[in-house]
Amino acid sequence: MRDLVRTLLPIRWAEVPKPAYDVVIIGGGGHGLATAYYLATRHGITNVAVLEADYIASGNTGRNTTIIRANYGIPQAVRFYQHSLEMYAALEDETGANLLHETRGILWCAHTEMALRTERARCALNQALGVETVMIGPTEVKRLVPQIDLAGGGRYPILGASHHLGGATARHDRVAWAFASGASRRGVDLLQHTPVMALQLDGDGSRVVGVETPAGPIAAGVVLSATGGRVTRLAAQAGVRLPIRTHPLHAFVTNDHAQGLGPIVASTELMCYASQTERGQMLIGAEFDAQPSYSRQSSFDALRTYAWKMSLMLPFLRDLRILRSWAGICDISIDYSPIMGFTPVDGFLVTTGWGTWGFKAIPAGGEGMAELIATGRPPTLIEPFALDRFRADHVLADQGSSGTR
């Protein structure tokens, strides 16, 4: 029996902001809160404010499908996400919160020879970097997921899968709450319903020196944008143009179903996935909308497509009812990798490009950004993800690993 009492860690809310902070973090999602937490816990920097336009985790952090994995397709990403996966596994002990963390494994099913080849390459790379991802055939797929239709509805036969054994889930809002609690108890000011309306620049516009809020101006030594899908317009105020577009992503849950789906099941080609929540609901997601938009309106088209695709693989889903659907807006970078670090404008940093895949990165992203802010030097794990990689022609193209599946 899990210790549910441990989930209710207190948060100290700040009523009004101070006139100045060493660090102002814009955005109280997972990345903003984790950065604040690690600034306080790892570096003793607590003169920090997290300014959240709405309530904490109201953005994608509270809307995602909670999948944590490290089965990426380029070495820089595999190392970074594996570190995050390991941090997640230790996060309940570190924060004292019950995060409903569960390692359950993920199957990425392949329906064509080409997809099998891609998954074999993924397994080889993952194993070379110490990540447990192994190729399995249809018989093993069926053993792990007895509910699966290996014929894929007669259209998408399952020829094999890469099995990422470390794949896990954790309850998203509890993760945000744990970081918020840990940061605020150490002196970080958390301000909800405090949108940053503008960035303050010094005389010649070469440095960001603070932010404008409805509660008045706040001076800052460093300003970090952790604003999810809203980053491009904020950065533009400092004259920073980011290679990011904002796209909606949808998800839905069904009514409760008897527990029984073991690993998370995904298709690399249909680009959809399903997992079962602790309550028994089937949680289903797919790829982001092709059309950029800031709309968080759930769409019937997405619902219909996701449901059709997923029920080809797991036909029992057809007997369930859709309970709830929702959408978030995702900051998709042109190379499908995150962007962490300095911008050309002094005092203005970003953690962005988390797209549809950034929940799993929250601990490692927060840890890395905190170290960068504290020391002025990017730690090795996040260094490849700097914004200047685009100028230097060092893009980290990894679209094949980027979905939430």
Ligand X SMILES: Cc1cc2nc3c(=O)[nH]c(=O)nc-3n(C[C@H](O)[C@H](O)[C@H](O)COP(=O)(O)OP(=O)(O)OC[C@H]3O[C@@H](n4cnc5c(N)ncnc54)[C@H](O)[C@@H]3O)c2cc1C
State the residues that interact with ligand X by CB under 6 A: 26-32, 51-54, 58-61, 63-67, 195-196, 226-228, 230, 234, 249, 251, 285, 328, 330, 354-360, 404
- Which residue lies nearest ligand X, judged by its C-beta? 29
Would you report the helix, strand and coil content of the chain in percent, each value rounded to 5?
A: 35, 25, 40
Length of the chain, in residues: 405
- Environment class of 132 (CB within 10 Å of its CB; exposed 0-12, middle 13-18, buried 19+): middle
* Least spacing, CB of residue 336 vs ligand X, in Å: 12
What is the closest distance, in whole angstroms, from the C-beta atom of residue 54 to ligand X in the complex? 4
Q: Smaller CB distance to ligand X: residue 67 or 145?
A: 67
**Residue with Cβ nearer ligand X (159 or 272):** 272
Q: What DSSP string describes 136-180? A: E-HHHHHHH-TT--TTGGGTS---EEEEETT-EE--HHHHHHHHH
Phi-psi region of 156 (alpha: psi -120 to 50; beta: other; left: phi over 0): beta
Task: Quote the least distance from Cβ 50 to ligand X, whole Å.
Answer: 9
116/330 with CB nearer ligand X = 330
Rg of the chain taking only CA atoms, in angstroms: 21
Q: Based on CB atoms, which residue is closest to ligand X, 61 or 149? A: 61
Nearer to ligand X, 358 or 384 (CB): 358
Q: Please report the sign of the dihedral spanned by the C-alpha atoms of residue 336, residue 171, residue 174, residue 372.
A: negative
Q: What's the min distance (Å) between Cβ of 376 and ligand X?
A: 22
Residue 214, classified by CB atoms within 10 Å of its CB into exposed (0-12), middle (13-18) or buried (19+), is exposed
- 49 contact partners, CB below 8 Å, separation of at least 6: 14, 17, 18, 21, 23, 24, 25, 188, 189, 190, 191, 218, 220
The enclosing H or E element of 348 equals strand 348-352
How far apart are CB 145 and ligand X at their closest, in Å?
A: 18
Return the number of the residue (27 or 384) whose C-beta is nearest ligand X.
Answer: 27
Of the two residues 64 and 281, which places its CB atom closer to ligand X in the complex?
A: 64
CB of 76 to ligand X, least distance (A): 17
Measured over the CA atoms of residue 120, residue 163, residue 367 and residue 237, the dihedral's sign is positive
Q: Smallest distance, Å, CB 393 to ligand X?
A: 26
d(CA 344, CA 5): 46
Nearer to ligand X, 156 or 288 (CB): 288
Q: Are 228 and 27 in contact (CB under 8 A)?
A: yes
Distance CA 33, CA 40 (A): 11
Minimal distance, residue 196 CB to ligand X, in Å: 4
Backbone angles phi, psi at 172, to 5 degrees: -60, -45
